[in-house]
């Protein structure tokens, strides 16, 4: 089954404790992206990757890191989480973003609470 | 960062009613997309629009790409309880970025 998986689905942590949220897709997609969803703000892009070893900042990259060592995986790293990073996070992938026939597939989401 | 203005923020309607929502931007987009997010799930693509003036339907859903390329509209006819969720518009203006709207939360009462 074609899908985007994220782990963990729920995480409660404390300020400053490094964490990683994993994202994996089994569709051989080139493009992967991370978003955060906050009430009243919709989805805002954190980082995206057009291909292996190619990553770029989205609209809200501060406090986050990503890596793309393999095509299927795109982990999101919070080196020193802070309470303002409490949010619902989505990973997404698509074959390319430029294609007019492309569709972006979203993972199920990771709800992160930073105390 | 850039965001799209989506309205209304929320809607509470009775089953059977029609629904309209829209998205506006100060920038021109080449593609407009409409997504639905069910509770506890990630967004799922409903309709994609690629040309100014384009009108596209998907079942009871109809979306339009505004002539100015700065807005888009989504209509849902004869709403049913499973239409409940958050609807997001998204605009694409170059090959690597997709900008999302703030979402419209729809509640349908039987």
Collapse the DSSP code of B81 into the 3-class scheme (helix H, G, I; strand E, B; otherwise coil) and give the result.
Answer: helix
pLDDT digit string, tens, across residues A52-109: 999 999 989 999 999 999 999 999 999 999 999 999 999 999 887 655 556 788 999 9
Give me the phi and psi of A85, to 5 degrees please: -100, 5
Is A104's CB within 8 Å of B45's CB?
yes
Residue A5 C-alpha, separation from nearest chain B C-alpha, in angstroms: 11
pLDDT digit string, tens, across residues A4-45: 999 999 999 999 999 999 999 999 999 999 999 998 888 999
Residue A79 C-alpha, separation from nearest chain B C-alpha, in angstroms: 22
What stretch of H or E contains A42? strand A42-51
Is A44's CB within 8 Å of B41's CB?
no
User: Phi/psi class of residue B59: alpha, beta or left (left: φ > 0; alpha: ψ in -120 to 50)?
Assistant: left
- C-alpha closest to that of A76 among A26, A38, A19: A19
- Residues of B in Cβ contact (< 8 Å) with A62: none
């Amino acid at each position: 089954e074609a899908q985007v998986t994220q782990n963990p689905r729920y995480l409660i942590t404390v300020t400053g404790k490094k964490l990683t949220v994993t994202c994996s897709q089994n569709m051989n997609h080139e493009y992967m992206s991370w978003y955060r969803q906050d009430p009243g703000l919709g989805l805002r892009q954190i980082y995206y990757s057009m291909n292996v070893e190619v990553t770029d900042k989205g609209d809200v990259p501060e406090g986050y890191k990503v890596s793309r060592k393999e095509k299927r995986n795109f982990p999101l790293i919070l080196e020193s989480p802070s309470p303002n990073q409490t949010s619902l996070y989505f990973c997404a992938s698509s074959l390319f973003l430029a294609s007019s026939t492309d569709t972006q597939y979203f993972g199920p989401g990771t709800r992160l609470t930073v105390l | 960062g850039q965001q799209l203005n989506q309205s209304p923020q929320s809607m509470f309607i009775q089953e059977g009613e029609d629904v309209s929502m829209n998205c506006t931007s100060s920038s021109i987009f080449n593609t407009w997309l409409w997504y639905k997010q069910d509770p506890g799930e990630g967004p799922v693509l409903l309709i994609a629009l690629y040309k100014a003036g384009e009108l596209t339907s998907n079942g009871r859903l109809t979306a339009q790409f505004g002539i100015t390329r700065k807005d888009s509209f989504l209509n849902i006819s004869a709403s049913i309880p499973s239409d409940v969720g958050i609807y997001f518009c998204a605009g694409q203006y170059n090959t690597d970025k997709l900008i999302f709207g703030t979402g419209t939360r729809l509640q349908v009462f039987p």
